[in-house]
Structure 1
Amino acid sequence: MSKFVAAGETAFTAEHFSGRLPLFLAAAGVMVASGCSAIKPADSFTLLTELPPGFSIKGEASYVPRTGESCTVPAREGRNQPGKKFFKQDLKVEAQTARFEIPLISNEGGCPLVLKRFDYEVDAKYGRTRLNIGRDYAGISFVDKAISTSPITHQNTLQRNCQWLFRTAGPKNNISKILSCKAVAAPTTPEAIQRDELLGKSLTAIFSLAHEELPYMGDTWIKFPEGWKRCLGKSIEDPYGFCNGNTTNFKPFKMPDGRDCTVYPNCTEQGL
């Protein structure tokens, strides 16, 4: 179940759906309760986020005073964070589509607010431990009037291609992975979205995951038919391990599941 947490308001739960998010989400202890939103459908839009297997997402909607208003967003008081609304979709083993109703307007302390940004943090698991997580950030901007962008259609999409980048770290040359998600530009992809064009419409953010993994840093691995081999560098303890033309000397590494291996991702030349 996707969750919507509005700081300083009565929280409500939405059906299936998620910048650099504040630690507030994890530490604030905001109550999440089932219920009905006071936001009318005309004052919000539907955000659909398609996630690959093993992904989760957290979102943060940020609001600013409406153009022409002289009021300001009230200051944060403890766990109450005016001008912010938080969203979360938990990790699932299978692919999933998260669905949220995002308010386009809000009101804090009598100050009329409009949606300015939606920032999200995408997490993905690559191993069994809690540290075996890759993470990346992205966001969507909203404006009063769009500048040099295509009109929003009923099925408008924003697409990001994600890829695992592998590296070794520490004295045991443990494999760790970095998640990199890049925007895919298309003729219908707006840089900033005009708020009014989203009334009663849906916006879909599609995350795909590349089948092939690549080294995080250049000149540190060499690809062979059986897989990638980690260059030795100056010694087996060399934390950088640049190849520097040495295509015959390599060092073993440890996979996230604890195996000692010589070829990535097959572990050994025999593909075991």
Structure 2
Amino acid sequence: MALIVGCANKQANTFIFTADLPPGFAYEAAVYYVPAPGETCTVETRYNKAPVFNREWRKAYNPDSEIVIRRTRMGCPLVISRIELEINSAYGKDWSDISQDSANVVIRDELEAQYKGTFSEAGESTFYGQCQWLFRTSGKPRILRKILDCKKTNPQGELGRGRPFAAYTLDQLPGKTVKMNIKLAPEEEPYFTGKWVKFKNGYKRCMGKSFEDQHAFCYGNFRDFSTFQMPDGRICSIYPGCIE
């Protein structure tokens, strides 16, 4: 009986990080450790490398990552300090047809109440964000490229300033689950203003001085438009529908 009680009282040294993301999205997480509070030891980076979860997210992706809270390297007790997150998605099949933005979780020994995340009775804490696709053209063929732009939100989806973010204290985490909940904005928008014109059925790319004009601002010319090339090779005149 004493053995069973002892095991039950032993505090967990891990927590689960997970994410609720739009279809086709994945996160990559790098976990960083620092000497535990009160410790004077240091550890060279080569002996304290950050574990990375979902590094090969395009090949294999697991939304649930079990993260260690405390560990020892070279005799130095370490504690988790932060999780640097990349929110990734692919918009085409080529290896370069991807974009990402960042999010962060920080962990401290102490935090003021207004900055500290809270957990439900079930042991889960959720922080929120929204990502939006922004589009532009690149190069002489005017190939369409897409950029992911992510912002933090409150639970109701209202946009805040900065990237998705959460903060916790060390004693909050054992045995708990931290979830990142990201929604996708319903509409895509141009990455640069003054280069596209919006119509009822989509956006048209301003021609600029000529097709070779890499900047191609409209400058009030809302009659002359150019074609552009989709990542899959299609030649289009309007985005996102391609053909008017």
Q: Which residue of 2 aligns with 1:142?
A: 107
Shift of residue 134, structure 1, vs aligned partner: 1.2
The answer to whether the 8 A contact 1:63-1:116 is kept is yes
Distance 1:121 1:157, change over 3 A: same
Q: Which residue of 1 aligns with 2:40?
A: 70
Q: Which residue of 1 aligns with 2:159?
A: none
Q: Which residue of 2 aligns with 1:101?
A: 66
1:161-240 superposed matches below 5 A: 161-185=130-154, 191-240=166-215
List runs of 5+ in structure 1 lacking aligned partners: 1-39
Shift of residue 130, structure 1, vs aligned partner: 1.0
Counterpart AA for 1:262: S
What is the number of residues matched between the two proteins?
Answer: 223
Q: Which residue of 2 aligns with 1:127?
A: 92
Distance 1:41 1:58, change over 3 A: farther
Secondary structure at 1:84 match in 2 = coil
| TM-score of the two chains, using structure 1 as the length reference | 0.76
Shift of residue 99, structure 1, vs aligned partner: 0.8
Shift of residue 90, structure 1, vs aligned partner: 2.7
The answer to whether the 8 A contact 1:49-1:97 is kept is no
The answer to whether the 8 A contact 2:19-2:179 is kept is yes
The answer to whether the 8 A contact 2:127-2:166 is kept is no
Q: Deviations over 1:104-152 (max 9, x none)?
A: 1111011000110101122211111111111112211111111232452
Secondary structure at 2:214 match in 1 = coil
In 1, Cα distance between equivalents of 2:165 and 2:142: 42
In 2, Cα distance between equivalents of 1:177 and 1:97: 25
**Structure 1 residue 50 and structure 2 residue 20: aligned?**
yes
Secondary structure at 1:156 match in 2 = strand
Structure 1 range deviating more: 246-255 or 51-60: 51-60
Q: Deviations over 1:15-39 (max 9, x none)?
A: xxxxxxxxxxxxxxxxxxxxxxxxx
| TM-score of the two chains, using structure 2 as the length reference | 0.84
**Structure 1 residue 160 and structure 2 residue 129: aligned?**
yes
In 2, Cα distance between equivalents of 1:106 and 1:172: 52
In 1, Cα distance between equivalents of 2:124 and 2:45: 37
Counterpart AA for 1:194: T
**Structure 1 residue 86 and structure 2 residue 52: aligned?**
yes
**Structure 1 residue 59 and structure 2 residue 59: aligned?**
no
Distance 1:75 1:140, change over 3 A: closer
The answer to whether the 8 A contact 2:117-2:167 is kept is no
Distance 1:159 1:166, change over 3 A: same
Shift of residue 41, structure 1, vs aligned partner: 6.6
Shift of residue 62, structure 1, vs aligned partner: 0.2
Secondary structure at 1:212 match in 2 = coil
Percent same amino acid among aligned pairs?
Answer: 39
Shift of residue 190, structure 1, vs aligned partner: 7.2
Shift of residue 211, structure 1, vs aligned partner: 2.7
Q: Which residue of 2 aligns with 1:25?
A: none
Counterpart AA for 2:168: I
List runs of 5+ in structure 2 lacking aligned partners: 1-9, 157-163
Shift of residue 199, structure 1, vs aligned partner: 2.0
